[in-house]
Amino acid sequence: MKVFMVTDMEGVAGIVSFTQQSYPDGIYYEQAKKLETAEVNAAVDGLLEGGATEVLVWDGHGAGGISFEDLHPKAKLLHGRPSPPWSRLNEVIAQYDLVVMVGQHAMAGTLTGNQNHTQSSRTIDYYKLNGKPIGEIGQIALYFGSFGIPLIFLSGEIDACKETEELIPGVTTVAVKQGLGRGSAISLSAQEARRLIREGIRAAIEKQRTEPVAPLVWPGPYVLEKRYFHTDVADGAASQPGVERVDSQTVRLHSDDVRDIIYR
């Protein structure tokens, strides 16, 4: 089984602060990359122990969250911004059987979600797809679901785990910290977080052989509502063709194809 691993920084144990850790000008940013990479490596170990034949790690953190020289020797890394065009990325995604997420945070607006945000922590208030709030987890699960690829495992902050369990029946989650607010959390120790990730993801891939998690697919047509914090960002979004302006800060996009809409 070939596994595509989507990674992020804000849901890693020990990383609680945008300004000090997960923004690239943070004084502890390089240390945060090492913490994230160690959780990723624990997940790669668990996947390989559980029978994965290949693991591609996608560095999903905006400014880069993987410390390259520390990456697991058996993993490959997909990285670099701007991200490749979706048409090219789709050819890569289609080669994989399963998707997993490591280091994930909850969607923007989650009460206790440590470093909660959706895509841009500085501009986006919320996304709703067909009336249901979604964050980055829903985006990944639905995008890969359109290829028939199920999201079977997620580790990260506890609210991200709850968000995933509400979306995907049978998914395995591992909480490595409990958010107390957007800038605070109770983290497990680094060692314990890595142990739980390794064991949890191994169990998830083993379980997939007997009790498979289904790909997440919602019926279309699709309406994606995006609300921004500021009117100038909404002005820019509304200037794109086919985008409907709902109010000063909100736009709506329409499509029959979830892949065309969910990352626009």
Q: In sequence order, what are the residues at sequence separation of 6 or more whose Cβ sits closer than 8 angstroms to the Cβ of residue 231? A: 248, 249
Spatial separation of the C-alpha atoms in residues 184 and 21, rounded to whole Å: 12
In the complex, least distance from residue 187 CB atom to Zn ion, rounded to whole angstroms: 17
Pick the closer one to Zn ion by CB: 64 or 170: 64
User: Is residue 108 within 8 Å of residue 117, measured between CB atoms?
Assistant: yes
Spatial separation of the C-alpha atoms in residues 3 and 181, rounded to whole Å: 32
DSSP conformation letters of 66-102: --GGGS-TT-EEE--SSPPPHHHHHHHHTT-SEEEEE
Pick the closer one to Zn ion by CB: 182 or 202: 182
3-state DSSP assignment of residue 262: coil
In the complex, least distance from residue 87 CB atom to Zn ion, rounded to whole angstroms: 24
In the complex, least distance from residue 117 CB atom to Zn ion, rounded to whole angstroms: 8
Helix 158-167, helix 136-145: angle, nearest 10: 40
In the complex, least distance from residue 97 CB atom to Zn ion, rounded to whole angstroms: 25
In the complex, least distance from residue 103 CB atom to Zn ion, rounded to whole angstroms: 8
Pick the closer one to Zn ion by CB: 97 or 157: 157
Pick the closer one to Zn ion by CB: 109 or 170: 109
**Interacting residues with Zn ion (CB under 5 A):** 8-10, 61
241 CB neighbour count, 10 Å cutoff: 4
Pick the closer one to Zn ion by CB: 97 or 163: 163
Spatial separation of the C-alpha atoms in residues 44 and 264, rounded to whole Å: 30
In the complex, least distance from residue 257 CB atom to Zn ion, rounded to whole angstroms: 26
Helix (H) or strand (E) holding 208: helix 190-210
Pick the closer one to Zn ion by CB: 10 or 159: 10
3-state DSSP assignment of residue 210: helix
Q: Which residue is nearest to Zn ion (CB)?
A: 61
